[in-house]
Every structure is written in structure tokens, then in C-alpha cells.
Structure 1
Amino acid sequence: MCSYIAEGRLFKKCRHFVRLQVVAMLDCGSRLCELSIQHPKSCKNRSCTNYLGKEIQKPIVTYDEFCWACQSTGHAVAA
């Protein structure tokens, strides 16, 4: 399965990743993946994969704290 490569913020205390942007798509190279460049345009196979794999997360900024969602819901206090 093909996957997005995303850049974002990583919050160390809760391990949450907040995506800022998708910078690329990693091609899986499979002829059975509709999102791959290797998939034939004329393919009529209904069993071909047409969804993305797990996003590849690339932290460009790292914070040694809880994310805003955890802070606002009180999870940061409980931990």
C-alpha cells in the first residue's frame, strides 16, 4: 500500500503527532495498488487495493510537553 509522508509536531509526554503538511507520497510499487504508478490504467480487477497504508510521520518540531488536546481535556494533569 502506498503511504503519505507527513511532517508535523511531536509531543513527547503524550506521544501525539500533529500533522502540519503532507510532503510526499511513498509509492509501494505494486501492480495491485490503484494508487501506485505501477498499477495499469486499463486494470479491471476489483480486488486491487484502493486505500493508503499507515502514514509515515516525520517530526520537524518536538515539544517536551503534552499536546493541546491533552492539556485542554485534563489528561496532562492526570498523568
Structure 2
Amino acid sequence: MCRQISDGCVSRGCGHYIQTTVVAIADCQSRQCRLSSSHAPSCRGPACRCNQTYGPDIERTTSTKPGLCDQCLEARMAQGLHA
């Protein structure tokens, strides 16, 4: 399964990684992966049952921020809790 290599920010309050940029693709070299350069050119269309999704990102932390990520902050507010 091919994977995206991404740069992102980690929120110190919750530890979540937020992707900011995809910088490259790590090719898995599998003939059964439609995203790979090794996928057979003849395997196309609806008959192709090969993998068509990326695996988990290869995360490169480029910055950190204090507090919670936006998603965790919104969840806390929805529960009536303070940030």
C-alpha cells in the first residue's frame, strides 16, 4: 500500500498530528496497488480489484502548538467543557 509523506503540526495538549502538506508519495512497488508505479498497465477499469487507497501517512512533524487541536477543542466545547 503506497503512503503519503506529509509535513504537519502536533498539538501538545492532545498529541494529534494535523497534516499541512503532502510532500511526496512512498511507492510500495506492489503490482496489486493501483497507486503504485508497479501496477500492471493492463489492470484497469471496473475489473481492477487492486488497492486504491493510501496507507497511513508517514508523518514529519515540522511544528508544534500549545493546547488542543481544533477538533478536540470543538469536542470539548460541545460537551460543555472549557478549553
Q: State whether TM-score is above 0.5.
A: yes
Structure 1 stretches lacking a partner, 5+ long:
none
Letter in 1 for 2:51: T
Give the counterpart of 2:62 among 60, 63, 73.
Answer: 60
What is the count of residue pairs matched by the alignment? Answer: 78
SS in structure 1 of the partner of residue 55 of structure 2: coil
Question: 2:32 aligned with 1:40, yes or no?
Answer: no
Matches of 2:82 and 2:25, distance apart in 1? 37
**1:62-77 mapped onto 2 (5 Å cutoff):** 62-74=64-76, 77=82
| 65-74 vs 54-63, greater mean Cα deviation | 65-74
| TM-score in terms of structure 1 length | 0.78
Structure 2 stretches lacking a partner, 5+ long:
none
Matches of 2:29 and 2:73, distance apart in 1? 41
| TM-score in terms of structure 2 length | 0.75
Matches of 1:40 and 1:18, distance apart in 2? 34
TM-superposed deviation, 1:31: 0.7
Letter in 1 for 2:68: F
TM-superposed deviation, 1:73: 4.7
Tell me the residue number matched to 1:49: 51
